[in-house]
Amino acid sequence: MNIFLYNTMYRELREFKPLKDEEAGMYACGPTVYNYAHVGNLRTYIFEDILRRTLAYAGYRVTHVMNVTDVGHLTDDQDDGEDKMLKSSRETGMSVWDIAEYYTKAFFKDTTRLNILDPHVVCRATEHIDDMIELVKRLEKRGHTYEAGGNIYFSIDTFDQYGRMANLNLEDLQSGARIEVDQNKRNPKDFVLWFTKSKFENQVMLWDSPWGKGYPGWHLECSAMSMKYLGEQFDIHCGGTDHISVHHTNEIAQSEAATGKKWVRYWCHGEFLLDDTGKMSKSKGEFLTLDLLIKHGFDPLDYRYFCLGAHYRSQLRFSFQALEQAKTSRNNLAARIAELKKDQVEAADTLDAPAQAYVDRFEAHAAKDLNMPRSLSELWGLVRDSSIAPAQRLAGCYRMDLILGLSLKDIAPAGEELLDEESASLIAEREEARKDKDFAKADTIRDILQKRGIDIKDTPSGTVWRKRV
């Protein structure tokens, strides 16, 4: 299985060839834990999960590293704006450390519910300050830094290829210098590596450094931690599309300037999920969280399925109507899987040619830049191909689910779902009514059961029911 990924660095699909045979190292930009994740954030982690699962499916030993940004950062490099962690702390009365802990837990609770596999390494910025300081020292030694106004800056003019991935034109950037306000910067796109002057009162996250007590610039952690866990050169770095022009651009500059080596081989970026107003934001009060979707009656996997319906590099507009359609579709899929499992049918150990043909196409679509809409379409094709034996179809579906992550194995066989007593007695009562030809009563009970999430089917061989997923 040869995987092709769209590489932002070259703006084209390129075959994935890892640094080391059989191994794939990937670093994913993780959350800043000052608030709950919104579903737009989560879309990106679903994309990364698909990437990871596809690599593993293809036989690579994957090392998936993700950072957790638990250091408060300025809202921009101009030293204005607010520190998000501090802001959250002030608003909730919790300490910044507790805030970080609380939202980190909330984040992983969400990802777990979405069947997103835990990264092999989760690294917290606050636990890697020494590594960041070491990196700044290396940059200092190589002449890429300068001190001004108490802060240590990275000088982008000392790095040849600055802005290459983002197609930034340095002269255009320079011309914008006149309107910049930070007099400390030699070039307006220079960025801070280490702050020693905090304008914030109550700044509690401070560390000693050769340049004084302070805290790291926000690009630093990803460079320092990714290299620590994956080496100075590694295969894949991914994140949201918004990171291309600033965050990743600066990471590349400081990483490659420090080592003198090419850093990352494949850059993969997930597109945004939009809401009605366009961009999703956390600053508008209530925003779309996974919990909110659950409150509206959706299963987290409905959202995962919804995301699978669009390609990760396409913007996707969120709407409850579209999510509702995804939910229905997933439910129908589960019903078919349940039907295949009926009568103790087990997945076959090996695939015959007809089922394998579907799996082959599925793999081809996944391998071509993670085309989940197409892959999903092959799943549907297999599921409803009645010329193929249930055991074969099941086996094929399970294979596909290794990448899709829809928990198809967990679906109970038709008629074997757990049922609460009340529903069970309602079903029995309805049976009686039908025997007595009291169809009005039977239909009323059927409606009640419907509302409880139980579908009723009267077949020639008796009544069967199914719990919607």
Pick from 17, 142, 317, 409: which binds RNA (CB under 7 A)?
Answer: 317
Q: Which residues, 347 to 386, sit near RNA by CB under 7 A?
A: 371, 373-374, 376-377, 380-381, 384, 386
CA distance 125 to 23: 25
Range 254-291 burial, b when 16+ CB lie within 10 A, else e: bbbbbbeeebbbbbbbbbbbebeeeebebeeeebbbbe
Residue type (1 letter), 390: P
Q: Which residues, 174 to 233, sit near RNA by CB under 7 A?
A: 218
CA distance 60 to 53: 10
CA distance 442 to 434: 6
Stretch that binds RNA, among 60-68, 202-210, 234-242, 292-300 (CB under 7 A): 234-242
CB of 227 to RNA, least distance (A): 18
Under 8 Å CB-to-CB from 38, ≥6 apart: which residues? 280, 282, 287, 288, 289
CA angle 400, 408, 36 (to 5 degrees): 100
Pick from 18, 25, 239, 300: which binds RNA (CB under 7 A)?
Answer: 239
CB of 348 to RNA, least distance (A): 19
CB of 461 to RNA, least distance (A): 11
Cβ closest to RNA, residue 144 vs residue 446: 446
Residue 98 phi/psi, 5° resolution?
A: -70, -40
CB of 173 to RNA, least distance (A): 8
Q: Which residues, 17 to 46, sit near RNA by CB under 7 A?
A: 29-32, 37-38, 40-41, 43-44
Q: Which residues, 393 to 432, sit near RNA by CB under 7 A?
A: none
Stretch that binds RNA, among 146-154, 204-212, 294-302, 449-457 (CB under 7 A): 449-457
CA distance 139 to 155: 10
CB of 460 to RNA, least distance (A): 6
- Specify which residues 317 forms β-bridges with: 274
Cβ–Cβ under 8 Å, residues 137 and 222: no
72 is a contact residue toward RNA (CB under 7 A): no
Cβ closest to RNA, residue 18 vs residue 189: 189
Q: Which residues, 322 to 351, sit near RNA by CB under 7 A?
A: 322, 324-326, 328-329, 332, 335-336, 339
Token reading at 64: 């998936």
Pick from 64, 393, 399, 446: which binds RNA (CB under 7 A)?
Answer: 446
CB of 249 to RNA, least distance (A): 9
Question: Can you say how many angstroms the Cα of residue 261 is from the centroid of all Cα atoms in its chain?
Answer: 28
161 is a contact residue toward RNA (CB under 7 A): no
112 is a contact residue toward RNA (CB under 7 A): no
Burial class (CB in 10 A: 0-12, 13-18, 19+), 25: buried
77 is a contact residue toward RNA (CB under 7 A): yes
CB of 111 to RNA, least distance (A): 12
CB of 203 to RNA, least distance (A): 16
Cβ closest to RNA, residue 18 vs residue 240: 240
Residue 194 phi/psi, 5° resolution?
A: -145, 130
CB atoms within 10 A of CB 325: 15
Q: How many residues bind RNA (CB under 7 A)?
A: 85
According to DSSP H, which parts of 21-128 are helical?
Answer: 39-57, 84-92, 96-113
CA distance 223 to 213: 21
Cβ–Cβ under 8 Å, residues 123 and 67: yes
CB of 61 to RNA, least distance (A): 25
Cβ closest to RNA, residue 344 vs residue 461: 461
Cβ closest to RNA, residue 81 vs residue 210: 81
Count of residues for the chain?
469
CB of 161 to RNA, least distance (A): 15
Question: Can you say how many angstroms the Cα of residue 383 is from the centroid of all Cα atoms in its chain?
Answer: 27
Q: Which residues, 257 to 316, sit near RNA by CB under 7 A?
A: 270-274, 277-283, 309-311, 314-316
Cβ closest to RNA, residue 229 vs residue 358: 358
Cβ closest to RNA, residue 18 vs residue 163: 163
